[in-house]
A = this chain, B = another copy of it.
């Protein structure tokens, strides 16, 4: 098996962990006001570990993803992971437009906590800049503050109920593109489906890919990719089996209706191939022929990047996620090369596909 680049590893803080990194003026929101990240999901995950793999919890009451030792044991060492992209946990981006200044400060504290406790403690880990998209100016300041860190490779936006192609978010994409940072758009428990949250977790979870299609369409038709031709966006935790449908359907609608959005110069499928990528988890059970056909329908084998989603209950193992007799070249691309090409800031060793 090739060395792996894992594009979705969650490192998890408790709110209290962040206090040392948070200016004292904001402490009372945590210590006195009891603020917690918003969660719109009207159910818990119906699994023994809840959101997490039961074995990913350190056993001291802290959540899965909070222990670097366990992450090493269960992912980094176990699978020969050359690089892991940290995607965080503090999904303030998906919450409502409330206590905006506090949340801007809190994600900034989170970023410092992430760098000190994860990025700088294992050379295989690369960080995301979390921002509060309800405060675009503050988000840009946060990107400027951290963009020069050599092990920061991404700006991560969690999905709530806002479409990120709206002009209010463009400065965030501009800043990311200016610094050569990928924008990772990640799912959250605040993301609805077209008909809300449904009666069962299995319904909602089956329909998770919808918000990714919505974000892709929003970015494309609002001209974000035309405005920032260097921008690269990866959609994380929605899988990729919807991509051929999205390409065909968006191309059809663009062909018929592009007089409405004349700033979109390229067919959406081409924009997707040139500027978007898709993290693999939760990958479905495919035969080699099924997966090769699906990749063929995308007309590019460079779009899918492996992700494990550690420590969540539906973790994908790099050993089991791809069908066993898949074409070795395609396996190499999905497990390693596509992410190495996407994250241009990864060191040459990674980019060259050499073993770690």
- Report which A residues bind B (CB closer than 8 A): 46, 161-163, 165-166, 191-196, 198-203, 205-207, 209-211, 213-215, 217-218, 221-222, 239, 241-242, 244-245, 248-261, 282, 284-286, 290, 293, 297, 314
Contacts and interface: CB of A to CB of B under 8 A. Distances in A.
A205 B253 contact: yes
Contacts of A242: 242, 245, 249
A185 to B, nearest CB: 12
Number of copies: 2
A124 B227 CA distance: 52
Contacts of A251: 284-285
A299 B94 CA distance: 38
A301 to B, nearest CB: 16
A257 B199 contact: no
A195 B207 contact: no
A199 B224 CA distance: 13
A207 to B, nearest CB: 6
Contacts of A244: 241, 245
Contact of A207 (B162, B203, B206, B213): B213
A213 B162 CA distance: 20
Contacts of A200: 221-222, 260-261
Nearest to A210: B194
Contacts of A213: 194, 207, 210
A261 to B, nearest CB: 6
B210 A198 contact: no
Given A194-B194, A195-B161, A201 B260 contact: yes
A217 B205 CA distance: 10
Nearest to A206: B253
Given A162-B195, A217-B207, A248 B241 contact: yes
